Structure 1
Amino acid sequence: MHDAAEIPAYEGPHEIPGIRFRHARRILGVSAWGMNVLELQAGCTDYPEHDHVHDGQEEVYVVLRGRAVLHADGQRHPLPAGSMVRVPPEVRRSLTTDEGALLLALGGTPGAIYRPEGET
């Protein structure tokens, strides 16, 4: 068993101020899907807008603590603690938070073997 807050945060050239990415998949040995813990600091507005058209990956965000807002295809969706949402590959999305939030992000491509970018 692992405490999400104790998973080492990503440090490297793609690090984003105000956001800690924790690679939960690696710690738990999950190989079937992508899984990260996202810790968004209070006032975070820098979560990158993106979609997954290039790889067909759908994502699910589960809010473990705090409150976040999902911005998807021009719409704003408040996400209180305990909520979850699925985002299809073609939808552009980003996250913001006023008070800070801890989220579990799950992702995978239907019918495909999961292969993280940069890994073989």
Structure 2
Amino acid sequence: MADFSVKKIDQMETTFGGGLSKARAELGVTSVGMSILTMPAGYDRYPDHDHTHDEQEEVYIVLAGSGVLTIEGEEFALDGETMARVGPSTKRKVVAGPDGIRLLVLGGVPGEAYQPPEWGELGSADPMAG
């Protein structure tokens, strides 16, 4: 039997207040972290953060819309023609453009097998739920 999975993004389970779709878990991907970050127009509350705690690098790929990725204080326009990789210790923040933004976010620890976080599993509690 063929080994594949197909699912519409809008039908995927979400976390972090509905802004992050659990694409990795929904598709059964085991080799890399993968989620869909969806933010409405002008959304600027995505946290400035790094991944020194888990040593994960991330790749951002725009699926729809536009925005700005700030890396260590330097701003980069994000659109359908731009991809970005950010290392674990580097601070990054995404702000949605006037049409909102939907990003495919890939992550993993360089040179290591992927270990999914608990919040990324289907049926897990939303860390932002009260």
Provide TM-score, normalisation by structure 1. Answer: 0.87
Instruction: Structure 1: state its 5+ residue gaps.
Output: none
Out of 12, 19, 34, which is 1:7 matched to?
Answer: 12
Report 1:1-120 matches (<5 A): 1-10=6-15, 14-15=16-17, 20-99=19-98, 100-118=100-118
What's the TM-score once normalised by structure 2's chain length? 0.80
Which whole-Å CA distance do the structure 1 matches of 2:43 and 2:117 have between them? 25
Deviation at 1:41, TM superposition (A): 0.6
CA distance in 1, matches of 2:37, 2:64: 11
CA distance in 1, matches of 2:69, 2:14: 22
Distance (Å, rounded) in 1 between the aligned partners of 2:77 and 2:41: 15
Q: By how many angstroms is 1:48 displaced? A: 1.0
Aligned residues: 114
Where in structure 1 do 4 or more consecutive aligned residues deviate above 4 Å?
A: none
SS at match of 2:10: helix
Q: Any idea what SS the aligned residue of 1:25 has?
A: helix
**In the TM superposition, what is the alpha-carbon distance from 1:7 to its structure 2 partner?**
1.4
1:49 to partner: Cα distance: 1.1
RMSD value over aligned CA atoms? 1.8
In structure 2, distance between residues paired with 1:117 and 1:29: 14
Instruction: Measure, in 2, the Cα distance between the counterparts of 1:9 and 1:108.
Output: 20
CA drift of 1:82 comes to: 3.6
**Larger radius of gyration, structure 1 or 2?**
2
SS of residue matched to 2:60:
strand
